[in-house]
């Protein structure tokens, strides 16, 4: 039996398998709200074979968006748009639906990648950014150092976004504290030079992440709540795997349902060693030190790779992004390769394996179910 296609529980949420569509920024929101692209993109992934589909990073404030094309969840309009997307996913596929909540911090107010990805100019509608410390990202503008009132407002904004997500029908909320965004900026000594209760030693730098989790948990007690954390800044003086272990233990004690372990994104000077499964060992390190479920990411491309991550005990789940962009039915293929039966809608069962011989023609390694 495939371990990848076995069920798992994340707090109150039960998933029918351990395959996750990772949150993927589409830079196609309409003033923070989901548009037609999101419905087509995410709707197609509801029948991908994954047990959970994650909606891209969504800012709890308008100013926290990384670009004009980023999603937000900070008013009735953005909440209504999210609810429409969730309703569509419910109608067309069996996957459960999660949303990732995150604030860009000094990575906010940028151009969309295909327009250059640099800091927005005033003519392009730039807005002021804020961060734990007034340190620019590369040649970008210097963000305003957050005051205590800004920190309190950020915590409250996360709680309000969580409540909106619940009303919109979300099954799971993932707090983004990695990839160089605001909560990661607080956690990393590379970007946090504060001397108050939110800076300095590791416990202080983790403080805001724990408080955001607690506020989110309180605002959304009926859904699963997890956090995406970093295990390496890939830069001297930055976060290392043991920092992720310490954070994961604190999150577990505070009521976190799972962690997604990733790395990088804090500074342009990083030296990331990219390769197949290059972040899986980070997840394994965290999993060995905690009892809550751990999700692995990072160039997991084949069904056999995904299966081995779970079967070897390195992680409890895997999340894939580009693989699903390339093949929105990646989960079906993986199930057939691993001898499992994906849940196909009745409209697609004529294309199931072995009902359609084309599967075997395209991939002779498929197992007969």
Q: Which residues are designated catalytic? A: 181
Whether the CB-CB separation of 51 and 16 falls below 8 Å is answered with yes
Query: By three-state DSSP, how is residue 145 classified?
Result: strand
Distances (CA, A) of 160 to 119, 154, 165, 279, 336: 28, 10, 9, 32, 42
Whether the CB-CB separation of 38 and 28 falls below 8 Å is answered with yes
Q: Report CA dihedral (219, 88, 38, 305) to the nearest 10 degrees.
A: 80
- CA 294, distance to chain mean position in Å, is 13
Whether the CB-CB separation of 220 and 173 falls below 8 Å is answered with yes
Whether the CB-CB separation of 220 and 162 falls below 8 Å is answered with yes
Cα distance between residue 35 and residue 32, in whole Å: 9
Of 266, 239, 147, give the one whose Cα is nearest residue 197: 147
Q: What are phi and psi of 132, to 5 degrees?
A: -60, -35
Whether the CB-CB separation of 82 and 125 falls below 8 Å is answered with no
Cα distance between residue 293 and residue 8, in whole Å: 9
Report the chain's C-alpha Rg in angstroms: 20
Of 296, 335, 337, 330, give the one whose Cα is nearest residue 313: 296
Q: Over 37-98, what HEC string results?
A: HHHHHHHHHCCCCCCEEEEEEEECCHHHCCCCCCEECCCHHHHHHHHHHHHHHHHHCCCEEE
């Amino acid at each position: 039996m495939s371990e990848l296609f076995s069920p798992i529980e994340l707090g109150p949420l039960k998933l029918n398998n351990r395959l996750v569509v990772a949150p993927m920024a589409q830079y196609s929101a309409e003033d923070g709200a989901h548009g037609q692209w999101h419905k087509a993109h995410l709707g197609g992934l509801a029948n991908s074979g994954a047990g959970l589909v994650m909606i891209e990073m969504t800012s709890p404030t308008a100013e926290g968006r990384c670009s004009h094309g980023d999603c937000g969840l900070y008013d009735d309009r953005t909440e209504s748009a999210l609810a429409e997307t969730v309703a569509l996913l419910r109608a067309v596929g069996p996957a459960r639906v999660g949303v990732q909540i995150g604030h860009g911090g000094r990575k906010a107010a940028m151009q969309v990648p295909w327009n250059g990805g640099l800091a927005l100019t005033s003519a392009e509608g730039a807005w002021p950014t804020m961060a734990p410390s007034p340190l620019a990202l590369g040649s970008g503008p210097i963000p305003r150092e957050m005051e205590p009132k800004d920190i309190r407002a950020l915590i409250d904004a996360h709680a309000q976004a969580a409540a909106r997500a619940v009303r919109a029908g979300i099954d799971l909320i993932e707090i983004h504290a990695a990839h160089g965004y605001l909560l990661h900026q607080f956690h990393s000594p590379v970007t946090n030079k504060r001397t108050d209760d939110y800076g300095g030693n590791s416990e202080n730098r983790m403080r805001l992440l724990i408080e955001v989790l607690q506020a989110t948990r309180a605002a959304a007690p009926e859904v699963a709540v997890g956090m995406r954390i970093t295990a390496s800044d890939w830069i001297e003086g930055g976060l290392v795997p043991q920092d992720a272990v310490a954070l994961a233990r604190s999150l577990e004690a505070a009521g976190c349902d799972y962690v997604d372990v990733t790395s990088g994104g804090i500074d342009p000077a990083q030296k990331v060693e990219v390769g197949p499964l290059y972040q899986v060992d980070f997840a394994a390190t965290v999993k060995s030190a905690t009892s809550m479920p751990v999700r692995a990411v990072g160039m997991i491309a084949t069904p056999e790779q995904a299966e081995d991550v779970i079967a070897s005990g390195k992680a409890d789940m895997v999340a894939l992004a580009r693989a699903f962009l390339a093949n929105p039915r990646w989960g079906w293929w993986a199930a057939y390769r691993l001898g499992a039966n994906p849940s196909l809608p009745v409209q697609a069962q004529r294309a199931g394996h072995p009902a359609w011989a084309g599967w075997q023609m395209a991939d002779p390694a498929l197992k007969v179910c």
